Amino acid sequence: MQIGVETSRAVENKRVFVVDSDEITRAALQFMLHDENETHELASLEDVFAKSGEWKPDLILLGMAIVRAKSTAVFGEIAARVPAAKVLVVADSAADALAQTCLKSGAHGILTKPLTVESVRRKVDALLGRLNAPLIPLQVMTGRAKL
């Protein structure tokens, strides 16, 4: 099922790795993103590094549980092993002290809960360099206007 998918995005083949120890969050994010991106669910950073040998991700969505387990040193490791990938941390709040430390340690942004299709796609699109041009509705006039 494709929800509000722009055709140009569906064929441009941006690769997103969703990495979280929480299976439900991984599945939700994968569902929200799979229509417009090649999206893969992974449970660990080791899986990311193994898979990125063949399939280089453009963006990694990283759950805070993984950061808590491995420390913010993960950002240096990701930068060294998958240098082209941007990292977006998935946090309960942007005001969370660890989330703010992630930004200082190399994360490119914070994706906050509650996760909605619109907010997730907007943030992912921004980090992937997709700019949305505002749509300007045009009114088609028929006949001649009377003055």
**For position 81, which CATH number holds?**
3.40.50.2300
3-state secondary structure of 88: strand
Res. 143: pLDDT tops 70: no
User: Does 50 fall in a domain?
Assistant: yes
Q: What is the pTM of this model?
A: 0.82
- Residue 68's domain comprises 7-127
- Interval 57-69: pLDDT, tens: 999 999 999 999 9
Sign of the torsion angle spanned by Cα atoms 63, 49, 129, 27: negative
Give the span between the Cα atoms of 20 and 89, in whole angstroms.
10
> Which one is predicted more confidently, 5 or 93?
93
User: Does 142 fall in a domain?
Assistant: no
Give the span between the Cα atoms of 102 and 89, in whole angstroms.
8
User: Does 133 fall in a domain?
Assistant: no
User: Does 2 fall in a domain?
Assistant: no
User: Does 40 fall in a domain?
Assistant: yes
Spatial neighbors of 62 by CB under 8 A, at least 6 apart, are: 19, 20, 74, 78, 87, 88, 89, 90, 107
The total number of structural domains that make up the chain = 1
